[in-house]
C-alpha cells in the first residue's frame, strides 16, 4: 500500500517539476538579473530607486558623450562631476513621481492589470523583435545596459500606468469629466498643436551629420518671413528627405498636453508662439525641429471624444508635477560609494541560475516533505492495524 502511494506522489511531483520547467522555458517570462541590479542607490518619497536605473543612465550617458566628443570626454574632474550631476538629476523624474502616485492608489507597475498588460506587450516584443529567442533578447539587454525589469517598468510607466491612475481618479470623482471642462482644457494653454521634423539617430548616418541636417532644416524654415511661408516650408520639410517620422506625412500636426512627450520636446513646444520655430531639440532618440500651430476648430469638433479623454491627463500631470516638486532624492550609502567611471557590470541574465536552483530546491524539499508525511501516516495506520488484530 505504501509503495503505491509513494509512486503516486512521485508521479505528481514529476508532473509539477515538468510544469515548472515549461514555465521556466517561456521566452517572455521575466529575465532575472543578478542581485546587484536591485540594490537600492537612492530613495525619494515612498519609492526606492535600484542600481539598474543608475547603471543604465550612467552607461548610456558615457557612451553618448564619447560618441560625440571622443574618448577624452570624461578625463577631467569637471567632466566627471558634470556626469555625476546629470545622473542624479535623471534618477528622479516624472516617471518616479508617477510611480509614487500609482502606489497611493494601490496601483503597481508589475502587478494587476498593469502587470498583465506589460506581460502581453513583452510576449509581442519577444515574438516580433526576437522571434522568441530568449538568448537574443538577453544579448540585446546587455548591449544596451538594460535589465528586463527596467524594460518592464519603462513600458508600464509609458503606456499603462497613467491610464490606470486616470481610471481610478475618474472612479473617485477627482477628474471633472464634463464636456464643458474638457472644452475649456482643449482650448486652453494646457493643450498644444505642433508639427515637427524628426531626424533619428538610427537612420544610418553619423551623429554629426544628423545634427548638421537638423540645423539646416531649422534654418530654412525659420528664414521665411511670414507665418504662411514658414508653415509651407515646414510641411515641405515634413515630406522631405531628412524627416524620419512618418506618422504625420501631411504636416497637419499633433495635439498633446503636458506629460505626453519627452521633456525637452515639451519644454521647447510650450515656449513657442503660433507658427514659431524651435531651435534644434536634442533627445535620446534624435533631433526635432518643432513648429507650434493654431488649433483647428473643425478638427476639435470631429475628434472631441478622443481629445476629451486626452484632457483627463491634464489633471494627472498637475498631480505629477506637484508630487515631483515635493520629492527629494536621498542617495543611500551604497549609492554614494559608487564610482560612476567604474560601475559594477550588470548581467541581464545573472540571476537565472539562482532561479533554476530555487525551483529544484523547492521541488526536492516539497518531495521530501510529502514522502515523509505519507510514510508517517502509513506507519501510523500500520500500528493501528496491528493493535486491532490483537
pLDDT at residue 18 greater than cutoff 60: no
- With a CB cutoff of 8 Å and minimum separation 6, the contacts of 280 are 211, 214, 215, 218, 287, 288, 289
How many percent of the chain have pLDDT more than 70?
83
| Mean pLDDT to the nearest integer, 206-215 | 94
Phi and psi dihedrals of 196, rounded to 5?
Answer: -150, 160
| Better pLDDT: 386 or 124 | 124
pLDDT tier at 135, thresholds 50, 70, 90: very high
* Interior/surface letters 137-168, b for 16+ CB within 10 angstroms, e for the rest: bbeebbeebbbbbbbbbebbbeebbbbbbbeb
Question: How many Å from the N-terminal Cα to the C-terminal Cα in the chain?
Answer: 21
3-state SS record for 134-193: HHHHHHHHHHCCCCHHHHHHHHHHHHHHHHHHHHHHHHCCCCCCCHHHHHHHHCCCCEEE
| Amino acid 29: pLDDT | 77
Average of per-residue pLDDT values in the chain: 87
CA distance 294 to 193: 7
Q: If DSSP codes are grouped into helix, strand and coil, which group holds residue 118?
A: helix
Contact status, residue 6 vs residue 378, Cβ threshold 8 Å: no
| Amino acid 207: pLDDT | 87
pTM for this structure?
Answer: 0.77
| Amino acid 260: pLDDT | 86
Strands of the chain, DSSP E: 40-44, 47-50, 191-200, 254-257, 281-282, 286-293, 330-331
pLDDT per residue over 296-338, tens digit each?
999 999 999 999 999 999 999 999 999 999 999 999 999 999 9
Q: How many CB atoms lie within 10 A of CB 87?
A: 19
Residue 103: all three cell numbers together: 502606489
| Amino acid 363: pLDDT | 47
| Amino acid 251: pLDDT | 83
Sheet with 40-44: strands ordered across = 47-50, 40-44, 330-331
Q: Which of 149, 144, 142 is nearest to 346 (CA)?
A: 142
| Amino acid 366: pLDDT | 53
pLDDT per residue over 259-289, tens digit each?
888 889 999 999 999 999 999 999 988 999 9
| Mean pLDDT to the nearest integer, 359-387 | 53
Which range has the worst mean pLDDT, 320-324, 344-348, 377-381? 377-381
Contact status, residue 53 vs residue 96, Cβ threshold 8 Å: no
CA distance 277 to 22: 55
3-state SS record for 323-372: HHHHCCCEECHHHHHCCHHHCCCCCCCCCHHHHHHHHHHHHHHHHHHHHH
pLDDT per residue over 226-235, tens digit each?
999 999 999 9
pLDDT at residue 370 greater than cutoff 50: yes
pLDDT per residue over 74-102, tens digit each?
999 999 999 999 999 999 999 999 999 99
Q: How many CB atoms lie within 10 A of CB 292?
A: 21
Give the number of C-alpha atoms closer than 13 A to the C-alpha of residue 286, restricted to the C-beta side. Answer: 22
| Mean pLDDT to the nearest integer, 341-356 | 78
| Amino acid 17: pLDDT | 47
| Amino acid 369: pLDDT | 54
CA distance 103 to 164: 11
pLDDT at residue 20 greater than cutoff 60: no
Amino acid at each position: 500500500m505504501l509503495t503505491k502511494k509513494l509512486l503516486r506522489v512521485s508521479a505528481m511531483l514529476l508532473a509539477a517539476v515538468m510544469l515548472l520547467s515549461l514555465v521556466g522555458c517561456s521566452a517572455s517570462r521575466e529575465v532575472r538579473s543578478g542581485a546587484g541590479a536591485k540594490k537600492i542607490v537612492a530613495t525619494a518619497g515612498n519609492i526606492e530607486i535600484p542600481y539598474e536605473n543608475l547603471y543604465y543612465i550612467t552607461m548610456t550617458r558615457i557612451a553618448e558623450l564619447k560618441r560625440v566628443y571622443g574618448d577624452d570626454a570624461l578625463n577631467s574632474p569637471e567632466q566627471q562631476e558634470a556626469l555625476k550631476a546629470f545622473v542624479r538629476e535623471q534618477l528622479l523624474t516624472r516617471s518616479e513621481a508617477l510611480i509614487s502616485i500609482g502606489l497611493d492608489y494601490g496601483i503597481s507597475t508589475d502587478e494587476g492589470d498593469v502587470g498583465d498588460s506589460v506581460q502581453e506587450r513583452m510576449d509581442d516584443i519577444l515574438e516580433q523583435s526576437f522571434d522568441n529567442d530568449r538568448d537574443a533578447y538577453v544579448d540585446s539587454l546587455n548591449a544596451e545596459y538594460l535589465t528586463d525589469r527596467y524594460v518592464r517598468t519603462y513600458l508600464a510607466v509609458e503606456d499603462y500606468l497613467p491610464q490606470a491612475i486616470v481610471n481610478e481618479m475618474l472612479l473617485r470623482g477627482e477628474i471633472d469629466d464634463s464636456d464643458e471642462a474638457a472644452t475649456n482644457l482643449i482650448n486652453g494653454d494646457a493643450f498644444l498643436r505642433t508639427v515637427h521634423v524628426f531626424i533619428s539617430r538610427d537612420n544610418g548616418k553619423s551623429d554629426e551629420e544628423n545634427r548638421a541636417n537638423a540645423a539646416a532644416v531649422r534654418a530654412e524654415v525659420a528664414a521665411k518671413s511670414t507665418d504662411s511661408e514658414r508653415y509651407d516650408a515646414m510641411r515641405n520639410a515634413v515630406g522631405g528627405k531628412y524627416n524620419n517620422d512618418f506618422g504625420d506625412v501631411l504636416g497637419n500636426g499633433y495635439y498633446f498636453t503636458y506629460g505626453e512627450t519627452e521633456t525637452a520636446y515639451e519644454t521647447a513646444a510650450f515656449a513657442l508662439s503660433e507658427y514659431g520655430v524651435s531651435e534644434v531639440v536634442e533627445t535620446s532618440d534624435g533631433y526635432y525641429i518643432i513648429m507650434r500651430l493654431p488649433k483647428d476648430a473643425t478638427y476639435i469638433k470631429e475628434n472631441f471624444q478622443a481629445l476629451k479623454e486626452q484632457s483627463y491627463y491634464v489633471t494627472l500631470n498637475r498631480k505629477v508635477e506637484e508630487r515631483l516638486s515635493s520629492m527629494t532624492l536621498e542617495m543611500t550609502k551604497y549609492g554614494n560609494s559608487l564610482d560612476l567611471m567604474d560601475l559594477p557590470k550588470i548581467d541581464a541574465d545573472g540571476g537565472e541560475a539562482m532561479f533554476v536552483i530555487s525551483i529544484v530546491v523547492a521541488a526536492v524539499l516539497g518531495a521530501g516533505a510529502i514522502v515523509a508525511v505519507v510514510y508517517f501516516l502509513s506507519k501510523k495506520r500500520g500500528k493501528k492495524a496491528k493493535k486491532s488484530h490483537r
